[in-house]
Amino acid sequence: MKLLYQFGIIMFVTFLGEFLHCLIPLPIPASIYGLLLMLAGLMTKVIKLEQVKIAADFLIEIMPPMFIPAAVGLIVTWSDLKAILVPVLVITCITTVFVMVVTGRTAQAVMHLKENMAAQKMEKQD
């Protein structure tokens, strides 16, 4: 029952993202709106991590099999992809490295920000 409740919260946030996508005329996918709403809810403690953690962990666990249909689709269209394989591989490699660098830098910035906040908190206590 707990898993259904948590999944319901995630689905509600997803629905709100879909609603915002219909409401706001920007070229942003509904899933991004949903992720931003979930982030805002978690940061403001409107949604507590314990309220969605089990369902979120479950969804992350089953994510790899969800890519199987896309992989099968690539196999089916192999004859079309053969002609543009090299550019696709180059673009994939470059964007993968770019995403890794941006993610690493962002994580470092967040860690540095947390350290600074902790240091300021310690200074205020002294």
Q: What is the distance between the alpha carbons of residues 99 and 1, in angstroms, rounded to a whole number?
A: 37
Q: How far is CA 72 from the centre of its chain?
A: 24
* Coil/strand/helix, residue 38: helix
Longest dimension (CA), the chain: 69
Domain spans of the chain, in order of start: 1-62, 68-126
pLDDT (0 to 100) of residue 27: 93
17: pLDDT strictly greater than 70: yes
29: pLDDT strictly greater than 70: yes
116 Cβ contact list (under 8 Å, min separation 6): none
Q: What is the mean pLDDT of residues 54-71?
A: 92
* Coil/strand/helix, residue 46: coil
Task: Tell me the pLDDT tens digit for each residue of 68-116.
Answer: 888 888 888 888 888 899 998 999 999 999 999 999 999 999 999 999 9
Q: What is the mean pLDDT of residues 19-42?
A: 95
